[in-house]
């Protein structure tokens, strides 16, 4: 048995706007991930830029920061065995068009930008992203 791990998940503005919080949280809980903390927050563009700074050299960085700060989001700490990998499997590919059936992004994502959820991609980023929202 692997040890419980934590990861950060965000329900993005497009999904909060469409009242998908309950549906998305149910997907996590049904798969065995515990939501041990959750908060609704509206980031400023500067805060979004800080959160996504690993992407600062990417051509889509400015658009990404404007989008994340465009409305309220829900940040959550998910906990369970292999939480980082499990969450990424539940989310599906970044581009909803390429996401596998029944993944969150396939079910609810509208575009590569409005892809409904974010999830940490490594233990290092999970620790930093959890600290960002839940100091
Ligand atoms: P997320 O998992 O939140 O991490 C960075 C985000 O950048 C990603 O989801 C997408 O919503 C967004 N993005 C926009 N364009 C691209 C792209 N070409 N490749 C990867 N991510 C992109």
Per residue in 100-132, pLDDT (tens digit) is 999 999 999 999 999 999 999 999 999 999 999
Q: Is residue 133 part of a domain?
A: no
Q: Is residue 84 part of a domain?
A: yes
Work out how many domains the chain is built from and give that number. 1
Q: Is residue 74 part of a domain?
A: yes
Question: Could you report the per-residue pLDDT of 36-61, keeping only the tens digit for each?
Answer: 999 999 999 999 999 999 999 999 99
Q: Please name the residue ranges forming H helices in 18-116.
A: 21-30, 45-51, 61-68, 83-91, 104-108
Report CA(113)–ligand 1 centroid distance (Å).
6
Q: How is the chain split among helix, strand and coil, in percent rounded to 5?
A: 45, 20, 35
Which positions are catalytic?
118
**Segments forming the whole domain that contains residue 99:** 4-125
Report CA(32)–ligand 1 centroid distance (Å).
26
Residue identified by tokens 């400023």 is 44
Q: Residue range 15-28: average pLDDT?
A: 98
How far, in Å, CA of 48 to CA of 68, rounded? 6
Q: Give pLDDT, residue 3.
A: 82
Residue 12 has pLDDT above 80, yes or no: yes
Pocket test for ligand 1, best of 62, 112, 117, 129 (most atoms within 8 A of CB): 112
- For the chain, percent of residues with pLDDT exceeding 70: 99
Q: Give pLDDT, residue 2.
A: 64
């Amino acid at each position: 048995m692997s040890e419980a791990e934590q990861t950060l998940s965000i329900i993005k503005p497009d999904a909060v706007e469409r009242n998908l919080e309950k549906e998305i949280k149910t997907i996590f809980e049904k798969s065995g991930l515990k939501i041990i903390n959750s908060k609704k927050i509206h980031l400023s563009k500067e805060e979004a830029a800080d959160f996504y700074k690993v992407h600062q050299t990417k051509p889509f960085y400015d658009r990404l920061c404007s989008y994340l700060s465009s409305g309220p989001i829900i940040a959550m700490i998910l906990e369970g065995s292999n939480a980082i990998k499990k969450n990424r499997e539940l989310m599906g590919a970044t581009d909803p068009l390429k996401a596998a059936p029944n993944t969150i992004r396939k079910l609810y994502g509208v575009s590569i930008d409005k892809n409904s959820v974010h999830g940490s991609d490594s233990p290092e980023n999970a620790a930093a992203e959890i600290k960002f929202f839940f100091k």
